[in-house]
Structure formats: structure tokens, C-alpha cells
Amino acid sequence: MALLQISEPGQTTAPHQRNYAAGIDLGTTNSLVAINRSGQVETLPDNDNNHLLPSVVHYAENDIIVGHAAQNLQAADPLNTLSSVKRIMGRGIEDVKSLGNVLPYEFDGNNDSAVPRIMTRQKSVSAIEVSAEILSVLSNRAEQTMGEALSGVVITVPAYFDDAQRQATRDAAKLADLNVYRLLNEPTAAAVAYGLDQQAEGMIAVYDLGGGTFDISILNLTRGVFEVLATGGNSSLGGDDMDHAIAEWLIEQAEIKAIDAKVIRNLLIASRKAKEDLTQQESTLIDLPQLGFSLTLDRTQFNHLVEDLVNKTLMSCRRALRDAKIEKEEINNVVMVGGSTRVPLVVDQVGKFFNCTPLTDLDPDRVVAIGAALQADVLAGNKPDQELLLLDVLPLSLCIETMGGLSEKIISRNTPIPVARAQEFTTFKDGQTAMAIHVVQGERELVSDCRSLAHFELRGIPPMTAGAARIKVTYQVDADGLMSVMAEELSSGVKADIVIKPSYGLTDGEIETMLRDSMSHAKEDIDARMRAEQQVEAQRVIEAIDSALTKDGHDLLNDNEFKAITVARNELEKVLQSATTEELKVAIKSIEVISEEYVAKRMNASVQKVLSGKNINEVEV
């Protein structure tokens, strides 16, 4: 006889329990939350049926307002109404200066924090705190809809976000009391939302132009597995820049002289409306009676204003294809993501570049949140029979500093993550009991040309002769792109580790500059590395000679021999910093030739010492 499982109304029985999870697109301009309900993924609206939540937070006297109501206060109270803070997520105080008037706020210069803090009437706040307010509203929306607390969320980030920016996003979620299953790259989420994992195998380009960030990702779909072959983009390029281009044109046309935060905000609001109007019509009237003018902007003029911005995105597309080692003719599908892809010029130029018709079937504003919700549902354990394998990649190489200021790559850029790589190193000096570990990020051969991520020390190494110790350094990057480093001396087991949580990220052009410089300076970097390696070798030879001469030089050498080796040693030290690579090789070879007889005498003395007092038959071989 079959037994029926019966539960009280509103309750579920154990076999049908479900973990409620959500996908959140934390955007520069707008944010969304999506859930998988009854097998259907949908973005969730507010009480006024608005799915998009403007990423705007207003700090009133005794309240914090988020979303549309905050957006309506931007013109009247711009200094206390914060938007586009995603642009300064994970950045340092000095970095925000490069943004100019893109963020017309007053920053707190009287705090000790490395994180920029924006002055408001309530208090100074960081981008992390502002983002936490947005995340709280979205998570509350999801919990009210589901009637249950969320077990976790997947939050999307631009593929080009570095360690600091990803960590700042996680910190914002923590402030909002959210359990983050994973940070998912926005382009990868979009591909999942389009169901491309269910289609034929092939190359996919995901072109994601949002309000404040641009990403291009080249994905290879093989048997339902997405592998991101290459990523590119600009973490400070998007629809906001189009608004600023229109605003600057308005200032020039209307000859506006008195410009303050309120004027800028009014101009930006009017510019954004004009941009949106021109996606559907050929011209629009920009009327600003408070500034005393009205102007007509047509699509041709608008295209001229934003053409350079669109071309910048195509330059990133070229670099991504080159990194992926494929031709654009190999791309099967181009997915358009982000509200700014509604601009007709963008769709037209991207179609021409890839020589195919871009996919625009899904709402570009919602597609990323939908993909995140699908992934969240899997990670929550609701689909144990379904595995969604997403292989994202590192945007820049992770390296370690070696002697001579050289950068040794441990994990190369565009390596799929999560990943762990280890490499063994050794000591440079006799009796060395500690080693300084310097973790850097970049593509250049010298540490001075890369970005420093962290310093820590491995102590307690047993004293040994130089080169005898075996120190294993392991770099690990998790699925969120966050990094940890461990160093271990293998004979003793002594360990040290660090989780890298940088307090600020790369500036706008730093990632692009790093990649460009690695190519344009390739030859001189190789030359510099070879010279530095010879300098390290010369220093090692000098220290070995000093140690040997101090120990038994006068016992094994006559005065002339001792003097000849000392002169060669001093000559090498004299030219150590100024000599070319070839001159250093010659100087090192000169010492080796002069010291050959001395080395033979030392070896003979060592053998005699071992055999002293023993019968030759007693010696083990």
C-alpha cells in the first residue's frame, strides 16, 4: 500500500524542501534581482511593477532612500544623492581623482581609510556601504516575494573586475547580511540566460555595455561547458560616458559658464533622457528652462558625440580576440548585454565588426540577473542532477618577486579559474632562516613595472647552505577570483600564508596599460630580465668567493693566487650595476677561469678530510 505524504497548508515536506536563492545584477545605473520559481526564471518588480531598481541612494536627514524615489531627488540634492558608485568600488583615494567630474561628490579628506568616503549630510560613506543599501532592498524584495529567507545569492560583476573590486563587492554583500554563493562574471551569466549551453558547440562573444562598465568575453562552448578564452574591457566606460558627452555638448552649445554640482546633475538627467529617446526616434528636444535654454539633438549628431566611445569598445574586442588566438570570423554568436546596447549605433557597429547579426532577443537589462538566478538555483542544491560548469579566467598574470627584482609568473593571464599552482624556490644565502614573499600582478618582466598585491614572510627555515632549502609557494584563486598564497619549507613543514584583500583596485587604464606595455616593451623587458639574471648570478659568485676565501683561502692559495682571485672579484663587484649582460658574463667567466685551480684544491681537501683515518675499503660507495 502506498503512503501519501500530507503537510499543513503553507508547509512542505522534507523530500520537497527547497533552498531559496536569488541572482543579483548589481549594476552601475540599475540593479535587478531574479529568482527561479516553479521552473521559470523571472526578475522581480517592486510594488509599482518596476523591475529595474536605479542604483541610487539618497541620504536624507533621518532616512536612507533607495531607487526611484532617490533618483527623483538627484537634481534637487545632488551631493546627498549618490549614483554610479560601482565606478569606485575597490578603488583608492588617489584613483577617484582620475574620474574628474564624472562623480560630482565631495570626498572626505579627513579620514585614515584607504577607501574613498563620500560626504553626505548624515555621515561619510564608502561605495561599499552605498552598494550594501542597494543589495538590502533587492534581497528584501526577493524575500517578500518568496515568503522565505534567502539561503544565498549569486552576484554578478564585470569580468574585468580585479581582486580589490571583487572583494569590495563581497564586503557590500556581507554588510547587507547576504550569503554569497559566488561572484559570477556578467558576460558568462548572459550566455547562460540565453541558453547557449543547450545549443551547438562554438565560439561566442558577449558584448556587455552597461551604465558604467564595458566587458567583452570570448567563450568557447564545448559539450555544455563554457570556457572563457579571453576577457577584456574597461571598468570605467559605459552609458554614463555617453550622457557626459551629451552634457559637454550642451554646455558648449548653450555657453553655460556657471557650473556646479546641481547644474551638472540637471544636465546629466536631461542627457540620459535624450539618449534614451534617440534609441527609438531620429531627434529629441532637450528642454532645460531652469538653465534657460532648449536644444534639438538628432541621432546623427548623437552618433558623432559617442562614436569614439563605441570605437574604444571595439578596440577591446580586437584585443580579446587576439588573446583568445582566434579570428572574428570564427565567432558563431554575439550576445548583446546591458542597457547601453539599445543605442542603434552600438548594434550597427558591433554587427559590422563581427560580420553577423547580434542577438538582442532578451531584454539586455534583465539578461544578466536571469543568468545569475539560474546559477544560484544550482548552487543552492535545488538541482543536484544538473551541473553548470563555468570556467572564468584571470585577467592578469599572478607573479612572485625573485632575486634581482624579477617577476616570475606563477599563474598566467587567461588561465581558467578556480585554479591552484605551485612552484619551488630556494634560499640565496647560507644560513638563511627567513624568506620575504612579494606577490605581484602584471605582464612585465620586472617587479617595478607590475602591481604589488601583498607582502608576507616565511620564518623558521632551518639554516642550510644556499640553494639547499626547498620552499614551495602555492597560489590559489577561487571561483570568485579571490586569491590566497601559501609558502612551505618542505623539509621542516614550516608554513606561512596570506589571503589577499587589497584595499584599492586598479585605475581605469591600468589594466589596459599593463597589457599594452607588456607587448610594446617585450624586447626591452627580455633584455632587462637577462641583465638582472646575470646581476643575480654575479652577486651569487661574489658571495661564494667571499665565503670560500674567508674559510680556507690563505691555507690553500699562495699570495699571488689569492691576490688574482681577489682582483677579479673586486672588478666584478665594481661593474655589477653598470655592466651590460655580455660584460657581466665575461667578468663571471673570468673569475671561474682564475678560480679553477682553487676549486680543485678545495675539492681535494674536502675529500681528504672525509677519508682521513679510514681504510679505503671501509668507505661506503
Verify cis geometry, omega within 30 degrees of 0, for the bond prior to 418.
Answer: yes
Q: Name the catalytic one among 25, 129, 449, 480.
A: 25
Cell of 587: 667578468
Residue 25 designated active-site: yes
Q: Name the catalytic one among 162, 208, 323, 489.
A: 208
Residue 186 designated active-site: yes
Q: Name the catalytic one among 95, 129, 162, 186.
A: 186
The whole-angstrom separation of Cα 45 and Cα 51 is 4
Residue type, 538: A
In the block, cell 584583500 appears at 501
Burial of 240: CB neighbours in 10 Å, binned 0-12, 13-18, 19+: buried
* Closest residue by Cα to residue 28 from 213, 189, 182: 213
Q: Name the catalytic one among 86, 409, 480, 488.
A: 86
3-state secondary structure 562-610: HHHHHHHHHHHHHCCCCCCHHHHHHHHHHHHHHHHHHHHHHHHHHHHHH
Q: Residue 342 in contact with residue 336, Cβ under 8 Å?
A: no
Residue 86 designated active-site: yes
The whole-angstrom separation of Cα 37 and Cα 379 is 15
| Inter-helix orientation angle 522-548/510-520, to 10° | 80
The whole-angstrom separation of Cα 239 and Cα 250 is 17
3-state class percentages of the chain: helix first, strand second, coil last, to nearest 5: 40, 25, 35
Q: Residue 404 in contact with residue 537, Cβ under 8 Å?
A: no
Could you give the residue numbers annotated as active site? 25, 86, 186, 208
